[in-house]
A and B are shown apart, each in its own frame.
With several copies, the nearest count.
Chain A
Amino acid sequence: QGALEKKQVTLGVGGKSLLYYLPLTVAERKGFFKDFGLEMTINDFAGGARSLQALVGGSVDMVTGAYEHTLRMQAKGQDIRSTIELLRFPTIVVAVRKAVADKVKSAADFKGLKIGVTAPGSSTYITVVHAMAKVGLKATDASFIGVGGGASAVAAMKRGEIDVISHLDPVIAKLETDGDVVTLIDTRTEAGTKALFGASNPAACLYLRQDFIEKNPNTTQAAVNGLYKALRWIDKASPAEVADAVPEQYHLGDKALYIKAVQASKDAYSKTGVMAQDGMKSVFDMLKALDKEMESVSADIIGKSFEPRFAQKAGTTVG
């Protein structure tokens, strides 16, 4: 491995404590970035969109965020590329409030319901709309309510202001343990993801600007290596070991519950760091179908959206 062009790097993430970004936390806590000579400052943002904006603006060097962002940026002519896949499945869960669970059995019943999503336009929103589209419903058939990321989402469901929620852990875990909801669609598992998207669906990844990659290939490689090491570690570790690795606050005050949640989504973490071609295509198709701005974009951008060489190299060099 060549000398690092840049030792001190800043990384952006939108909601570091989410299970979605577990590999990052593991790499940080276990010192995997340091192992490869990086001094990593992690900036936490209120949402993935903000971390991406910081990347474009140049205030962070790299971001762990949704793969979908790189596609959107490519479509806008911003050359942003993902370098390693962290999460194979979106881990988004669509659940329905207990009280209406007997009437709402699938996406086909969403007509006229109030659906809570993290934010209008976000991936939680797109996932539900996709599910509805599959059964012939349009987005306008239900009303979507942005409920935000954290406790306000829980509050909205507990107060009965929404009938369906499309969200991630820990909101889902909280609602599930409190027995407030019944799960309809679960993309934390391979089966659930395949059922909804027909393929894997790369979610979290590490992405950077192309010019940064070009100028700092070794630094990029080091960051990928660190995350790859974390992926390998997660693959081998037991859920309990994972729970011990993260800060205590992440446990939601209930370690057993956290272990259960890790168990539920452990399969979703990428095994190789390399995205499956059909998975990328499935994300692209979904965006194209649901977002007006993406309609005219050619499929060529898929090729530019992911650079497999770093993950592949990590696969051969990192044990």
Chain B
Amino acid sequence: MSRGKLLALQILVAVAVFLAWHVVTTWSIVADVKTMRFFFSTPVDVFKRVFTMFLEGSVYRHLWITLVETILAFVIGASLGIVIGFWFARKPIVAAVFDPYVKMMNALPRVVLAPIFALWFGLGIWSKVWLGVTLVFFIVFFNVYQGVREVPQVVLANARMLGMNERQLLRHVYWPAALAWVFSSLHTSVGFAVVGAVVGEYLGSAAGLGYLIHQAEGVFDVTGVFAGMVILMGFVMLIDGIVTLVEKPLLVWKPGETRTV
């Protein structure tokens, strides 16, 4: 499908969603309009708000902080996930011993941990970053761990026969073989990095998109809440786009559909 047609379809979907949103917040079809607006605002208002936020310029500071937190959370979480994932995959004993603990830690509700993070890392960006890290880490970790174990046995045997030591195996075999899994997890975890940062801000902070959303929510300013979320989404698309850009050249070797011309 051509890029143009694809874009058209995508826009169509967006328009459909907005139309539905507009309709249910303009006419009392599913519920009383007043109630609907209380919970969902209206698309027009939300976009007006987004627009003024950018026009006024008040949003940039918050955006910048959330961006920094998100990127740090993403980079640190993904790196840790990759490193520890590889380590576990290559050291079955370590993996076996720590396996239950990793899973337990993954189940801790981050919301409850927030005060401890504030204690350890203060209220600056770092407590948010680490909150994001705890989300990103596990997603990447589990995928890397699995990805390494999926390396075809014969390719691995061949590489070892070629004289590769553990470090070289990592670089030339495990890493490229696990790459598809890593990227799959990165696409999931981009979103979670943002969620971590925003939730961190939401739970206690002085700036950032999460702070804005929290402020708006406290006074039932749904328009503000949705405006914040819309900005957030644009945000994720951006970072995800970067991930995709990095991914493409790294995965050229993938067989895929054979093409004749």
Residues on A close to B: CB < 8 A? 10, 12, 15-18, 41-46, 49-54, 56-60, 72-73, 76-78, 114, 119-122, 125, 143-156, 158-159, 161-162, 170, 174, 178, 249-253, 291, 293
Contacts and interface: CB of A to CB of B under 8 A. Distances in A.
B137 to A, nearest CB: 21
Contacts of A41: 206
A134 B115 CA distance: 33
Nearest to A249: B221
Contacts of B224: 249
Nearest to A46: B203
Contacts, number: 171
A159 B35 CA distance: 11
Nearest to B45: A253
A53 B221 contact: no
A53 B205 contact: no
A73 B220 CA distance: 9
- Interface SS, B side: helix
Interface string B177-213: 0000000000000000000000000111110000100
Contacts of A72: 219-220
A60 B124 CA distance: 11
Contacts of A53: 38-39, 115, 118-119, 220
B204 A44 contact: yes
Interface string B36-53: 001100000000000000
Contacts of B34: 77-78, 178
B218 A143 contact: no
A119 B38 contact: no
Contacts of B215: 16-17, 44, 119-121, 146, 249
B118 A252 contact: no
Contact of B123 (A52, A147, A174): A147
Contact of B204 (A54, A143, A252): A54
Given A151-B220, A152-B203, 20 more contacts: A16-B218, A43-B123, A43-B205, A44-B205, A44-B206, A44-B214, A44-B215, A53-B39, A53-B220, A120-B218, A121-B219, A125-B218, A145-B206, A146-B215, A148-B115, A151-B115, A151-B118, A154-B38, A156-B122, A293-B219
B118 A150 contact: no
A159 B218 contact: no
B115 A18 contact: no
17 contacts: A43-B204, A43-B205, A43-B206, A44-B214, A50-B204, A56-B38, A119-B215, A120-B214, A120-B215, A150-B217, A152-B118, A154-B115, A156-B122, A156-B123, A161-B123, A249-B215, A252-B221
